[in-house]
Amino acid sequence: MSSGTITKSQLTASSNSYRANNGRLDGDKVWIAEDDDQFPWFQVNFITDVYVTAIATQGSPVGNMFVTEYIIGYGFDARNLTMITNEQNVEQV
């Protein structure tokens, strides 16, 4: 995503969606959910089938703000995602 191959229109978020483009690695800006966003999410629409081999996150370059845990879902419809789970079928955090 840091290369810009994924376009701005492919990035959406639960709040501050117009700033979702700031959620790229190694940028000088960041995407941060609104304070009242109880279930924040960030979504990348790959448009075509892709095989994701790694996911990276980083904190804000200007403050002590960073994600400590998250879950990952995938699918063709944002309303019907398959969540990544462990052997006990519990969402992997």
Residues 72-89, mean pLDDT to the nearest whole number: 90
pLDDT, mean of residues 25-53: 90
DSSP at 80:
S
Percent of the chain scoring above 70 in pLDDT:
98
Count the neighbouring beta carbons within 10 Å of the beta carbon of residue 23.
20
Overall average pLDDT of the 22-50 stretch: 90
Tokens representing residue 78 in the block: 């944002």
Q: What is the mean pLDDT of residues 18-28?
A: 87
Q: Is 11 helix (H, G, I), strand (E, B) or coil?
A: strand
